[in-house]
Chain A
Amino acid sequence: MSSEHFIRADDIHLSVPLQVGNRSSIRSVSVLKDLYLGSRQRELRSLIRGMSFDFHEGERIGLIGENGSGKTTLLRLLAGVLQPSSGHLEIDGTTQALLNMSMGLEQRATGLENVYLLGYCAGLTTEQIDESIPGILEFADLHNAVHDPVRTYSAGMQLRLAFAVATSVKPEILLLDEWISAGDRFFIERSRERLMGHIDASRMLVFASHNASVLGEVCTRGLVLKRGKVIYDGPIDEALEFYGSDGYQES
């Protein structure tokens, strides 16, 4: 096994079949037809249209782009949820992903039970989870609420809990979707430390966000995406500048 972890994409494409709603007026007879026969229109939609890049160990990559530009889809490809329809994607390193809001939290279970559940998901053994619990509770600041059901937690507490478990695994590649920057200021401060802590150990981060200031602080490299393509790849400052410029609108 090489010591250098990487992600290498060579002209990856992804098309997915989508069930599309009926375009006819909601007043027409077809509404009734849809009820009994289902609306069976399926369309092949191209979400990623030829992306190539090389990510290296120690890089913190920011994915920049408007809604629908393919950020989340790309993260799902990197997380192994989706597979490219064509092209070649090679990933060397263990991955951890925090891609959607629910983060796999079991709302009715207690915080501690969720630590075990998420820990097992992340591939930890019981002993490893036991060891990491103090650190997780410390970071998530949950000491008083650890035996309360997660549904009683605030959104910020839930976020901290899931984030703390995912990062306690010390994955070689951490994938974060944009909602994470929705956390409170306090969380962002703490998580930045934790993210940077990972970087010291030469780990890789791929982070999708709308928040230019967070991206600018955390990331080293920026990929600007538009309609499933990489239209700019360079140092984060330049990428953010490009995203804000007319060049993005025109490309």
Chain B
Amino acid sequence: MHVGTLAGTGEGAPPHRSVRPRPISSWELIQDLIASFRAPGYWTYGAWLDISLRYRSHVLGAFWMIAGTLIFVGVLGSLYSRVLSEGADYYFGHIACGYVFWILILRALQTSSRIYSMNRNMIQNGYVSYTDYVLRMFAELAIILAHNFIVVVLAMVFTPIPLTWAALALLFTVPLFFVTILGSSFLVSIIGARYSDFGELLQSVLRLGFFVTPIIWSAGAGKGALIGAFLYLNPFYYLIEIVRGPLIYGHVPWLEIGATAVMALFVWAVASKLYARAKPYIPLWI
């Protein structure tokens, strides 16, 4: 059995555990994830609660979830669609889609780097289902994304941007996007638990990432094309492009999809290895 559900070994959980230094399996992360999905009560309810608490006292409530995005896309869209004369028809869709998915990447990685220390009290009290903490955060971000997506739809309706058959690729690319970010979140959560410096480093990288990734500018239009091959060194580019390509530009970016799939495999492999190695030490690190 695994030690993941120890805290509240409630009904159905195997009650017998033998705690001795044991051989570590690389499947620990997957096993814990399966356990989390079998008993989703804590992290689904927790995610809903986090959202509900944040907007509870506001007059406009959950509208604030999309207000920031609406303002950002509205203002920058109006300004930059004039600056970047080429491809201006698609600009609102481009920036809305890029920004909405960037927000998820940004918050997922930033929060993951300190997710276990944020939940120190719960962990020290015996709730050591580490995958639950990451899933709780991830589910909250997915709910926010679902709201923000309204801005993308608005941009597509009013610009207007036609939906093409290429959008069918989203059935595959959106799950791929989520899986890659979830794997990255686990990876970052472990590194962040061990090295508290990592959160600072990540913050700098992400701040830079926003500007070197084609979110407010476009790689194909205007001077954006000058960045050329450097674009392909940027992992965020692939993540954004696999969603934005099919949705906004009506083409399926096979190269980017392939690169993201490789990235996902890599991230999950490393995260599984580190998670299995790190798990017993997490309460000591935080």
Contacts and interface: CB of A to CB of B under 8 A. Distances in A.
A216 interface: no
Nearest to B15: A94
A21 interface: no
Contact of A117 (B3, B45, B56, B283): B45
B179 to A, nearest CB: 25
A121 B6 CA distance: 10
A195 interface: no
A120 B21 contact: no
Contacts of A124: 8, 10-11, 41
A104 B3 contact: no
Contacts of A85: 21
A90 B19 contact: yes
B8 A80 contact: no
Nearest to B9: A94
A41 interface: no
Of the listed residues B10, B16, B39, B128, the one surrounded by the most CB atoms of chain A closer than 10 A to its CB is: B10
Contact of A97 (B5, B12, B18, B126): B126
Contacts of A39: none
Interface residues of B, number: 37
Given A81-B124, A121-B42, A92 B11 contact: no
Contacts of B6: 79-80, 95
Interface string B123-141: 1111110000000000000
A214 interface: no
Interface string A215-249: 00000000000000000000000000000000000
The main secondary structure of chain B at its interface with chain A is: mixed
Contacts of B207: none
A211 interface: no
B10 to A, nearest CB: 2
A171 to B, nearest CB: 8
Nearest to A6: B16
B15 A126 contact: no
Contacts of B12: 123
Nearest to A91: B17
Contact of B126 (A90, A99, A108): A99
Given A82-B283, A94-B10, A123-B39, A104 B127 contact: yes
B186 to A, nearest CB: 20
B7 interface: yes
Of the listed residues A38, A95, A120, the one surrounded by the most CB atoms of chain B closer than 10 A to its CB is: A120
B20 interface: yes
B124 A76 contact: yes
Nearest to A124: B10
A100 B284 CA distance: 16
Of the listed residues B7, B56, B283, the one surrounded by the most CB atoms of chain A closer than 10 A to its CB is: B7
Contacts of A16: 284
B137 to A, nearest CB: 14
A122 interface: yes
A10 B49 CA distance: 42
A1 interface: yes
Contacts, number: 136
Nearest to A98: B125
A82 B11 CA distance: 23
Interface string B43-71: 00110010001001000000000000000
A143 interface: no
B19 A122 contact: no
B195 to A, nearest CB: 10
Contacts of B127: 104, 121
A180 B280 CA distance: 27
B83 interface: no
Contacts of A202: none
Contacts of B8: 94, 96, 121-124, 169, 171
A89 B15 CA distance: 14
B272 to A, nearest CB: 19
B222 to A, nearest CB: 42
B13 interface: yes
B41 to A, nearest CB: 3
A113 B15 contact: no
Nearest to A113: B49
Nearest to B17: A91
Contacts of A175: 126
A88 B124 CA distance: 21
B15 to A, nearest CB: 5
Given A108-B56, A125-B11, 8 more contacts: A16-B284, A76-B126, A83-B280, A94-B9, A102-B125, A117-B46, A123-B9, A172-B15
30 contacts: A76-B124, A79-B7, A80-B3, A81-B283, A82-B280, A82-B284, A83-B21, A84-B21, A86-B21, A88-B19, A89-B18, A91-B16, A91-B18, A91-B19, A92-B17, A94-B9, A94-B10, A95-B9, A96-B126, A99-B125, A100-B124, A102-B125, A116-B41, A116-B45, A120-B46, A121-B7, A121-B42, A123-B11, A124-B10, A169-B8
